[in-house]
Amino acid sequence: MKEKIGIASDHGGFALKEFLRKSLEESYEMVDYGTKSEESVDYPTIIGDACRKVLSGEVPRLIALCGTGIGASIAANRFKGIRAALCHDEFTAEMSKRHNNANVLVLGGRVLGTDLALRIVKKWIETDFEGGRHQKRLGLIEEQS
Protein backbone atom coordinates (compact mmCIF):
# COMPACT_ATOMS: atom_id res chain seq x y z
CA MET A 1 0.00 0.00 0.00
CA LYS A 2 1.38 3.37 -1.01
CA GLU A 3 1.90 6.13 1.54
CA LYS A 4 -0.60 8.98 1.18
CA ILE A 5 0.68 12.50 0.66
CA GLY A 6 -1.62 15.48 0.22
CA ILE A 7 -0.83 18.24 -2.23
CA ALA A 8 -2.53 21.61 -2.63
CA SER A 9 -1.87 24.93 -4.32
CA ASP A 10 -3.35 28.18 -5.41
CA HIS A 11 -3.06 29.36 -9.02
CA GLY A 12 0.53 30.56 -8.49
CA GLY A 13 1.68 27.09 -7.52
CA PHE A 14 -0.58 25.14 -9.88
CA ALA A 15 1.97 24.26 -12.58
CA LEU A 16 4.56 23.05 -10.05
CA LYS A 17 1.87 21.16 -8.10
CA GLU A 18 0.87 19.30 -11.24
CA PHE A 19 4.50 18.46 -12.04
CA LEU A 20 5.16 17.18 -8.51
CA ARG A 21 1.91 15.21 -8.34
CA LYS A 22 2.65 13.44 -11.62
CA SER A 23 6.30 12.84 -10.65
CA LEU A 24 5.40 11.29 -7.29
CA GLU A 25 2.23 9.33 -8.07
CA GLU A 26 4.12 6.18 -9.08
CA SER A 27 5.62 5.86 -5.58
CA TYR A 28 2.97 7.59 -3.42
CA GLU A 29 -0.79 7.94 -3.29
CA MET A 30 -1.04 11.64 -4.09
CA VAL A 31 -4.24 13.21 -2.78
CA ASP A 32 -4.89 16.43 -4.72
CA TYR A 33 -6.81 19.08 -2.77
CA GLY A 34 -6.77 21.62 -5.60
CA THR A 35 -6.73 23.98 -7.18
CA LYS A 36 -7.56 22.41 -10.52
CA SER A 37 -6.49 25.23 -12.85
CA GLU A 38 -4.48 28.43 -13.11
CA GLU A 39 -7.62 30.49 -12.52
CA SER A 40 -7.15 32.86 -9.58
CA VAL A 41 -8.20 31.45 -6.18
CA ASP A 42 -7.62 32.47 -2.56
CA TYR A 43 -4.69 30.53 -1.08
CA PRO A 44 -5.95 30.75 2.54
CA THR A 45 -9.04 28.73 1.59
CA ILE A 46 -7.24 26.06 -0.44
CA ILE A 47 -4.36 25.65 2.00
CA GLY A 48 -6.61 25.84 5.06
CA ASP A 49 -8.89 23.10 3.76
CA ALA A 50 -5.88 20.90 2.98
CA CYS A 51 -4.37 21.47 6.44
CA ARG A 52 -7.64 20.29 7.98
CA LYS A 53 -7.12 17.00 6.11
CA VAL A 54 -3.74 16.61 7.83
CA LEU A 55 -5.23 17.39 11.23
CA SER A 56 -8.09 14.91 10.69
CA GLY A 57 -5.62 12.16 9.78
CA GLU A 58 -6.85 11.80 6.20
CA VAL A 59 -3.24 12.34 5.08
CA PRO A 60 -0.16 12.32 7.33
CA ARG A 61 1.57 15.14 5.47
CA LEU A 62 1.00 17.79 2.87
CA ILE A 63 2.89 19.64 0.16
CA ALA A 64 1.47 23.17 -0.10
CA LEU A 65 2.30 25.67 -2.82
CA CYS A 66 1.57 29.23 -3.82
CA GLY A 67 3.53 31.68 -5.96
CA THR A 68 6.28 32.42 -3.43
CA GLY A 69 5.36 29.95 -0.70
CA ILE A 70 5.09 32.78 1.82
CA GLY A 71 1.30 33.08 1.86
CA ALA A 72 0.79 29.31 1.98
CA SER A 73 3.27 29.07 4.86
CA ILE A 74 1.53 31.79 6.86
CA ALA A 75 -1.91 30.29 6.18
CA ALA A 76 -0.84 26.76 7.14
CA ASN A 77 0.87 27.79 10.36
CA ARG A 78 -2.36 29.35 11.66
CA PHE A 79 -3.54 25.82 12.53
CA LYS A 80 -2.58 24.29 15.87
CA GLY A 81 -0.83 21.02 15.11
CA ILE A 82 0.47 22.10 11.72
CA ARG A 83 4.20 22.60 11.40
CA ALA A 84 4.67 24.11 7.94
CA ALA A 85 8.14 24.84 6.61
CA LEU A 86 8.86 26.98 3.57
CA CYS A 87 11.92 25.39 1.97
CA HIS A 88 14.12 26.56 -0.88
CA ASP A 89 16.78 23.85 -0.90
CA GLU A 90 17.43 20.27 0.17
CA PHE A 91 19.16 21.26 3.41
CA THR A 92 16.20 23.27 4.72
CA ALA A 93 13.85 20.45 3.70
CA GLU A 94 15.97 17.92 5.59
CA MET A 95 16.24 20.06 8.71
CA SER A 96 12.53 20.93 8.65
CA LYS A 97 11.86 17.24 9.12
CA ARG A 98 14.87 16.15 11.20
CA HIS A 99 14.61 18.94 13.80
CA ASN A 100 11.08 20.37 13.44
CA ASN A 101 9.05 17.35 12.28
CA ALA A 102 7.34 19.51 9.65
CA ASN A 103 4.11 17.89 8.51
CA VAL A 104 3.61 20.45 5.75
CA LEU A 105 6.27 21.28 3.17
CA VAL A 106 5.70 24.65 1.51
CA LEU A 107 7.16 25.56 -1.87
CA GLY A 108 7.03 28.61 -4.12
CA GLY A 109 5.75 27.71 -7.56
CA ARG A 110 7.18 30.88 -9.09
CA VAL A 111 10.47 30.62 -7.21
CA LEU A 112 11.68 27.06 -7.78
CA GLY A 113 12.47 25.10 -10.91
CA THR A 114 10.98 21.64 -11.29
CA ASP A 115 14.20 19.66 -10.76
CA LEU A 116 15.11 21.44 -7.53
CA ALA A 117 11.54 21.27 -6.26
CA LEU A 118 11.42 17.51 -6.80
CA ARG A 119 14.76 17.05 -5.00
CA ILE A 120 13.46 19.14 -2.09
CA VAL A 121 10.29 17.05 -1.85
CA LYS A 122 12.18 13.75 -2.00
CA LYS A 123 14.61 14.87 0.71
CA TRP A 124 11.69 15.94 2.94
CA ILE A 125 9.85 12.64 2.42
CA GLU A 126 12.96 10.53 3.05
CA THR A 127 14.07 12.32 6.24
CA ASP A 128 13.00 11.09 9.68
CA PHE A 129 12.38 13.18 12.78
CA GLU A 130 15.31 13.00 15.19
CA GLY A 131 13.28 13.47 18.38
CA GLY A 132 15.21 13.97 21.62
CA ARG A 133 15.89 17.60 22.39
CA HIS A 134 13.89 18.56 19.30
CA GLN A 135 10.78 16.87 20.69
CA LYS A 136 11.08 19.02 23.80
CA ARG A 137 11.32 22.13 21.64
CA LEU A 138 8.22 21.17 19.68
CA GLY A 139 6.42 20.81 22.99
CA LEU A 140 7.48 24.31 23.94
CA ILE A 141 6.11 25.63 20.65
CA GLU A 142 2.79 23.84 21.20
CA GLU A 143 2.50 25.38 24.66
CA GLN A 144 2.68 28.84 23.09
CA SER A 145 -0.18 28.29 20.66
Domain that holds residue 81: 4-144
pLDDT in tens, 44-78: 999 999 999 999 999 999 999 999 999 999 999 99
**In the β-sheet with 4-9, what is the strand arrangement from edge to edge?**
29-32, 4-9, 62-66, 104-108, 84-86
Asked about 99 being catalytic, the answer comes back as: yes
Q: List, as residue ranges, the binding site.
A: 10-11, 67-71, 100, 110, 133, 137
Helices (H), 32-88: 43-56, 70-76
User: Annotated catalytic residue: which of 51, 88, 99, 134?
Assistant: 99
Residue 12, number of CB atoms within 10 A of its CB: 24
Residue 114, number of CB atoms within 10 A of its CB: 12
Give, as one character, the DSSP assignment of residue 13. G
What SS3 class is residue 122? helix
User: Annotated catalytic residue: which of 66, 87, 88, 134?
Assistant: 66
Asked about 87 being catalytic, the answer comes back as: no
CATH of the domain at 117: 3.40.1400.10
Domain count, the chain: 1
pLDDT in tens, 80-109: 999 999 999 999 999 999 999 999 999 999
Separation CA 90–CA 5 (nearest Å): 18
| pTM for the full predicted model | 0.95
